[in-house]
Chain A
Amino acid sequence: MISWLARRVAVSAFLIFVLLSAVFFIVRLAPGDPMDQVVEENLGPDDRELIRRQMGLDESLPSQYLHWLAASSRGDFGTSLSQQRSVGHIIGEALPATLLLTVTAYLLHLLLALGAAVAMVARPGRSLDHWIQGVGLTLYSLPAFWLGLMMIMLLSGKLGWFPAGGMHAPDSRYLDWWPWLVDLAHHLVLPVATLALGSFIGTARYLRTSLADVLGQDYILAARARGLSERRILFRHALRNALLPMITLLGLSLPFLLGGAVVVEVVFGWPGMGRVAIEAIWARDYPVIMATTLVSAVTVVAGSLLADILYRWADPRVRHTERESA
């Protein structure tokens, strides 16, 4: 287990390194120049050259690459080219916002999936089952950014129930902690609903299949024979075992949630990683692009690593068949 884990971590680290290096060269070789965004008007060519030198953009690509490698291995991701702040500072502000959004959305996603799966499996093949499948697939087919806009239009614009975007009310810094929290939750509702509603059906179907599998097993029959109620069998006996495969799905859902967060952050003006990444790409802000790439790659790779570990931990059989899939 330990040597397997060590190899897996080493391979993951190597993958991230390769990816970052590729992105490093792709963004620099692409047309466009960070100077276009940074430089204010009335700057002569001399000033441009000076700023270029300060940013280290006058060096050759390989030497820029070596400098970047050296600095980032020290944990120094440099200074943003478009906003005179350290990259660590920018990420430090954006990452919690994205985490709050995605973790809350994932909890709602799980809750919806669990409810839907239990409702579907209670009477498989009946109208409620079909109805949920239909609604779920329809929600899954909606463009997330459009679903967000429709929510803004109806629930914010027409009815005025929720704020149309952002994370805090303009006056939130003067609020006490409790009203501040309420305000934050209020701002969270629409983005979180957008993320969770569009995606829960995938997990719900997975759970439904695994629940149906479990319900067909002998120990459930034994429980029925003992005269336990269907409700008790479902919640106490079946659900627990059906949830086991879910832990691996959790790790694999990470890239999906991060991707969804980009869309939602753009529509709702949520100050998270997705918006930072998009703005950095537009401004050719190389250090910020590299940092957002690193953060998302690490999250995704760590997610799949976690899924692998949990899977092996939960199911000893995998260890023995591992050879074939390595």
Chain B
Amino acid sequence: MKPGTSSDLSTSGDRWWTDPRLRPGLVITLGLGLLALLAPVIAPGDPAALGSAADRLAAPSGSHLLGTDLLGRDVLSRLVHGSRVSLLVGWVSVLVAVLLGTAVGLAAGMGPRWVDRFLMNTTDVFLAFPRIFLILLLVSLTTPSLLLVMTVLGLTGWMGVARLVRAEALSLRERDFVAAARGLGLSSWRVATGHVLPNLLPTIIVAATLRVGSAILAESFLSFLGLGAQEPTVSWGSMIQQGRGYLLDGWWLATFPGLAIALTVLGYNLLGEGLRRRLDPRGGREGRDE
């Protein structure tokens, strides 16, 4: 890459901890991970406990730091518990998408030409559609559930990874070490999984991290529409939905869950960008892909 382009911003300091993106990214994502794991311990109260009539729609104060909702439930406690849904859906759906995308991309990149052509045409069919329409269509077909959301986000999110992996595999297969592995008489399966795949891991890890944020955003929008998490499961998106009608009388209801989503997504985006600069020096080209 030529000097003066965006990737030489972080030439100062080779240690990960000094990277201006990795450090905040790691702090936010690890902190949120802990928060989700220890939610029952950290949350000040029970997220489902109803308050007395006087406690309903109470503004932030000493007893309820972030106020209460229409049923008198503590917003902070609900926020802490809501982190679980966001992170679970974010990670599981990205895992599905990345496994699928890697399999398709590797098969296309390493397999015979007709396999490549077939798989890439299939990828194009999926790409030929604004993803949000496809997600809405599939999610609204049966009764809403988180499992369905994770599956659908995974099944509609693999195309970018597949293209990335295929492109990388196509360039790797011309390298000497792959030729050597072939020369040793290894099967194409062994060459693909044992020699090419390990070299793709940095690309895959970066792609996965960068996708967690958008998966979390998608989940929050689906929950906002009532298509995601259902009561009594707490989700940030459905909290915003519940606060939508009280923008003036209860500004805290919609504001805080949105800030929580933003912080989480920002954390994963920073982490992903930091990792990209570390692990994938050539990969400055992949931007958003929805």
A residues touching B (Cβ–Cβ < 8 Å)? 11-12, 15-16, 18-19, 22-23, 26-27, 30-32, 124-125, 130, 137-138, 140-147, 149-150, 152-153, 157-158, 199, 202, 205-206, 208-209, 212-213, 215-216, 255-256, 258-259, 262-263, 266, 277-278, 281-282, 289, 292-293, 296-297, 300-301, 304, 324
| Known pairs A157-B247, A215-B4, A300-B130; A149 contacts B254 (CB<8 A) | yes
User: CA separation between A263 and B269, bound complex, in Å?
Assistant: 21
Tell me if B42 counts as interface (CB < 8 A to partner A): no
Tell me if B184 counts as interface (CB < 8 A to partner A): no
Contact A153 B225 (CB under 8 A): no
What are 15 residue pairs bridging A and B, where the CB atoms are less than 8 Å apart in the complex?
A32-B141, A125-B9, A130-B20, A143-B237, A143-B261, A144-B221, A145-B224, A149-B244, A150-B254, A153-B251, A205-B287, A208-B6, A216-B4, A259-B290, A289-B137
User: CA separation between A281 and B290, bound complex, in Å?
Assistant: 21
Tell me if B265 counts as interface (CB < 8 A to partner A): yes
Tell me if B258 counts as interface (CB < 8 A to partner A): yes
Tell me if B62 counts as interface (CB < 8 A to partner A): no
Tell me if B173 counts as interface (CB < 8 A to partner A): no
| B contact residues around A293 at 8 Å (CB) | 129, 133
Tell me if B142 counts as interface (CB < 8 A to partner A): yes
| B contact residues around A18 at 8 Å (CB) | 125
Contact A216 B2 (CB under 8 A): yes
State the Cβ distance, B127 to closest chain A Cβ, in Å. 8
Q: Tally the A-B contacts, defined by beta carbons under 8 Å.
A: 151
Tell me if B220 counts as interface (CB < 8 A to partner A): yes
Q: Is the interface of B mostly helix, strand, loop or mixed?
A: helix
User: CA separation between A258 and B128, bound complex, in Å?
Assistant: 12
Interface size of B by CB at 8 A reads 51
Contact B130 A258 (CB under 8 A): yes
Tell me if B107 counts as interface (CB < 8 A to partner A): no
User: CA separation between A143 and B256, bound complex, in Å?
Assistant: 12
B181-222, CB under 8 A of A: which get 1 and which 0? 000000000000000000000000000000001000100110
User: CA separation between A140 and B251, bound complex, in Å?
Assistant: 23
Contact A146 B261 (CB under 8 A): yes
State the Cβ distance, A123 to closest chain B Cβ, in Å. 12
User: CA separation between A104 and B131, bound complex, in Å?
Assistant: 22
Tell me if B52 counts as interface (CB < 8 A to partner A): no
User: CA separation between A281 and B227, bound complex, in Å?
Assistant: 12
A19's contact among B125, B217, B225, B240, by CB below 8 Å, is which? B125
B113-135, CB under 8 A of A: which get 1 and which 0? 00000000100110111111100
Contact B221 A202 (CB under 8 A): no
User: CA separation between A209 and B5, bound complex, in Å?
Assistant: 5
**Which residue of A is nearest B267, CB measured?**
A141
| A contact residues around B129 at 8 Å (CB) | 19, 255, 293, 296-297, 300
| Known pairs A27-B137, A296-B129, A297-B129; A137 contacts B6 (CB<8 A) | no
